[in-house]
């Protein structure tokens, strides 16, 4: 709990402090800010500091300092599953006795930051994508396959899994049809209906994934920018804020990675990721399953891109409109 006598700085005041190189006790020549929908990320010369935004939605709650501390601790724990020495600590941003913000040891905590070792950006999969081969990805894919093989199965009934999929598709449809987004609602209905029809017609296939023990607590957000081809490979930035969204089929996660590789111009590499898993883990479902998962993930990514357009003042609305369109096109391609 924060001392009620302490004046809590605003998000912008915290941001200004964390943008100043002199704020960091380890010393840094520069600080770069990267902003996501849910966090502000500060990159210094050697470290990364991630600050959650004080927000609440249907799927997350960062509205209080205590809740942000809890989710920061969870982020640290979960991301250590697929990294080595990258996720370092949860550290307090404090207000000292003079009312000044500090990353020192004295004062009252007014924010919590996840501290990470900064990885080389040139080692990330997007930077490597043009020259990457199935062989260069093999260590990363092997780490993922080993993780999936040893992960604890989620105690879930087939009907519950099907209901979760139906609800998610219906919610995405509703969110994307918000009048403020000015999207083609007939297009969204067509894609959503195709996904819901697949869930109905292929209930045995989807339910069978649950019955076979294939649903595990995975990464939840397996995108190329979260994959680093270092030695050993590092897979960062899992979906820490919602347990239900981490309960996934490995084919779902790898279909998502395959989709994103395709959108970076390397469909062949995405297919190779799935093929590696099929061979390594002895799990080869019908190709229609990966197609469904890709379509559903593309619809989700379209909704996330569109959500930026509802964030008040948007710096580059055209960027998010383009992203929304790209993902809707991908969802249609795989769903229809």
> pLDDT confidence of 311, banded at 50, 70, 90?
confident
User: Which pLDDT value is given to residue 7?
Assistant: 80
Which of 63, 98, 118 finishes a domain? Answer: 118
Domain contains 3:
no
Q: What CATH number corresponds to the domain at position 228? A: 3.90.1200
Q: Does residue 2 register a pLDDT over 60?
A: no
Domain contains 252:
yes
| 188 and 67 inside one domain | no
Question: Domain limits at 226?
Answer: 125-335
| 69 and 198 inside one domain | no
Quote the percentage of the chain above a pLDDT of 90. Answer: 89
User: What average pLDDT does the structure give for the chain?
Assistant: 95
Each residue's pLDDT tens digit, 236-276: 999 999 899 999 999 999 999 999 999 999 999 999 999 99
| 209 and 303 inside one domain | yes
- Find the helix or strand (DSSP H, E) in which 87 lies: strand 87-95
Mean pLDDT of 17-46: 95
> pLDDT confidence of 91, banded at 50, 70, 90?
very high
Domain contains 300:
yes
| 219 and 239 inside one domain | yes
Domain contains 6:
no
The tokens for 252 are: 């779902």
User: Which pLDDT value is given to residue 60?
Assistant: 86
User: Which pLDDT value is given to residue 8?
Assistant: 87
Which of 85, 118, 151 finishes a domain? Answer: 118
Q: Does residue 5 register a pLDDT over 70?
A: no
Angle at 221 between CA 47 and CA 112, to 5 degrees: 40
> What is the Cα–Cα distance from 182 to 168, expressed in whole angstroms?
21
Angle between helices 287-307 and 250-263 (to 10 degrees): 60
Mean pLDDT of 217-235: 97
| 149 and 80 inside one domain | no
| 91 and 151 inside one domain | no
DSSP 3-state percent helix, strand, coil across the chain (nearest 5): 55, 15, 35
User: Which pLDDT value is given to residue 3?
Assistant: 56
| 68 and 184 inside one domain | no
Q: Does residue 39 register a pLDDT over 60?
A: yes
Domain contains 167:
yes
Number of H helices, E strands in the chain: 12, 10
Angle at 296 between CA 222 and CA 130, to 5 degrees: 45
> pLDDT confidence of 174, banded at 50, 70, 90?
very high
| 191 and 103 inside one domain | no
pTM across the whole model: 0.93
User: Which pLDDT value is given to residue 234?
Assistant: 98
Domain contains 5:
no
User: Which of 16-20, 92-96, 240-244 is predicted with the least confidence, judged by mean pLDDT?
Assistant: 240-244
| 166 and 145 inside one domain | yes
| 160 and 308 inside one domain | yes
Domain contains 260:
yes
> pLDDT confidence of 37, banded at 50, 70, 90?
confident
| 164 and 24 inside one domain | no
> What is the Cα–Cα distance from 164 to 169, expressed in whole angstroms?
9
SS (H, E, C) 185-223: HHHHHHHHHHHHHHHHHCHHHHHHHHHCCCCEECCCCCC
Mean pLDDT of 61-75: 96
The sign of the torsion formed by the CA atoms of 153, 154, 155, 156 equals negative
Number of domains in the chain: 2
User: Which of 34-38, 110-114, 267-271 is predicted with the least confidence, judged by mean pLDDT?
Assistant: 34-38
Q: What CATH number corresponds to the domain at position 107? A: 3.30.200
Domain contains 253:
yes
Which of 86, 118, 150 finishes a domain? Answer: 118
User: Which pLDDT value is given to residue 4?
Assistant: 56
| 245 and 172 inside one domain | yes
């Amino acid at each position: 709990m924060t001392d009620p006598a302490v004046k809590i700085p605003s998000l912008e005041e915290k941001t200004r402090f964390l943008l100043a190189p002199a704020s960091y006790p380890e010393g840094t020549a520069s600080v770069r800010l990267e902003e996501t929908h849910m966090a502000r990320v500060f990159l210094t010369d050697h470290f990364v500091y991630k600050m959650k935004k004080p927000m609440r939605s249907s799927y997350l709650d960062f509205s209080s300092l205590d809740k942000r501390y809890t989710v920061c601790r969870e982020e640290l724990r979960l991301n250590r599953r697929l990294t080595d020495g990258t996720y370092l600590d949860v550290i307090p941003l404090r207000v000292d006795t003079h009312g000044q913000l500090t990353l020192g040891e004295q004062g009252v905590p007014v924010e919590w930051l996840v501290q990470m070792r900064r990885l080389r950006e040139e080692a990330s999969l997007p930077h490597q994508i043009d020259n990457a081969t199935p062989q260069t990805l093999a260590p990363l894919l092997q780490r993922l396959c080993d993780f999936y093989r040893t992960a604890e199965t989620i105690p879930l009934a087939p009907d519950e899994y099907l209901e979760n999929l139906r609800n998610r598709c219906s919610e995405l449809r509703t969110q994307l049809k918000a009048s403020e987004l000015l999207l083609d609602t007939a297009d969204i209905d067509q894609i959503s209906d195709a996904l819901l029809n697949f869930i109905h017609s292929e209930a045995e296939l989807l339910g069978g994934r649950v019955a076979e023990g294939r649903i595990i607590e995975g990464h939840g957000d397996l995108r190329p920018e979260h994959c680093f081809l270092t030695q050993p490979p590092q897979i960062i930035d899992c979906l820490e804020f919602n347990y239900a969204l981490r309960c996934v089929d490995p084919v779902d996660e790898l279909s998502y990675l395959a989709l994103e590789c395709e959108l970076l111009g390397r469909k062949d590499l995405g297919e190779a990721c799935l093929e590696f898993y099929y061979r390594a883990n002895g799990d080869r479902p019908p190709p229609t399953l990966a197609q469904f998962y890709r379509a559903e993930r593309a619809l989700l990514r379209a909704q996330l891109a569109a959500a930026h357009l509802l964030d008040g003042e948007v710096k580059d609305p055209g960027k998010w409109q383009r992203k929304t369109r790209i993902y809707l096109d991908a969802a249609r391609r795989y769903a229809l």
